[in-house]
Amino acid sequence: MNGNTKKRIIIEGDKIMNNKITKKAIIIIAVLAVLAIVLANSFTVVEAGHTGVLVTLGKVNETVLQEGIHMKIPFIQQCVKIDNRIVKLEVQTEAFSKDLQSVMTTLAINYRVDTSKSYSIYKNIGANYETVLVTPAVNEVLKAITAKYTAEESVTNRALISDGLVAGLNDKLNAIGLYVTDVNIINFDFSEAFITAIEEKQVAQQKLLKAETEKQTAIKNAEAEGETIRIKANAEADQIKIKAEAEAEANKTIAASLTPQVIENKKLEKWDGVLPKVTGGASTFVSVDDVVNGTTPEN
């Protein structure tokens, strides 16, 4: 065996050795990769605010996984995450009011899933429970409540309608494991004809209110004027009464001071010194001069 042949044998031996090492390395890497994949699928992480539902070959387990890391059978079990936080759902639906007006209502519903019933919801309804259950329930309850009010009352009783929606939805959904925490009415939209009628009614009410205000003002002014006249008349009457009482008191004082002697003096003060020419009754007349002269007529 010459030198070239020995060299060739050594080189080929090295190649075989390298190939064996390479194959072992590939096998080791493959095994490690498989182990890593298996290990990764042996754990599941349930995020905060969620619960996990284990499904084993299509069968839903009743055990609900809480937040944290959990083991599972790789490739045989899968974990479905259910969001248990408050979720906002916006729904727009058309309903008819008590007076048969079309009311397009936009709602914002806040609801959550009961953690203890996550598995039953997923098992009986599936992951799309919002589309299958919540939205139809909102439409049904809203139509029932809207029918209790006229279109105009729907606007003025917005809070009552919201409270009624919360109560009605919880009556329908609580047994399943869904809880409605709040319902906000974003908007009521009515037909153009109804909006025009409402505007005309508001204008008429404003005119009526203005007329009533003017009427009340006129009544108050008239009452004030009448009160002023009454007060003035009472004052004048009081003045007349006071004056009459003063005059009566003065007359009373004067009357009390008029003694017979005073009266005679007053007569003398008023007498002009001329005696009456005739005195007597209807059938006898006596001349004052005759009385003075001491002569009287004979009968």
Q: What is the per-residue DSSP string for 159-180?
A: HHHHHHHHHHHHHHHTTTTEEE
Q: Residue 15 falls within a domain, yes or no?
A: no
* Residue 208 confidence (pLDDT): 84
* Residue 235 confidence (pLDDT): 81
Residues 178 and 144 in one domain: yes
Measured CA to CA, the distance from residue 33 to residue 217 in angstroms comes to 94
Residues 93 and 167 in one domain: yes
136-190 pLDDT, tens digit each? 999 999 999 999 999 888 888 999 999 999 999 999 999 999 999 999 999 988 8
Residue 47, domain extent: 43-82
Nearest alpha-carbon partner for 106 in 148, 154, 153, 168: 154
Q: Residue 112 falls within a domain, yes or no?
A: yes
Residues 183 and 102 in one domain: yes
Residues 206 and 249 in one domain: yes
Task: Report the domain count for the chain.
Answer: 4
Q: What is the per-residue DSSP string for 185-252?
A: EEEEE--HHHHHHHHHHHHHHHHHHHHHHHHHHHHHHHHHHHHHHHHHHHHHHHHHHHHHHHHHHHHH
**The domain spanning residue 110 has which CATH number?**
3.30.479.30
232-265 pLDDT, tens digit each? 888 888 888 888 877 777 777 766 666 676 666 6
* Residue 176 confidence (pLDDT): 92
Whole-prediction pTM value? 0.55
- Residue ranges of the chain with per-residue pLDDT less than 70: 1-20, 254-259, 261-299
Report how far apart, in Å, the C-alpha atoms of 201 and of each of 17, 99, 100, 189, 278 are: 100, 16, 18, 18, 99
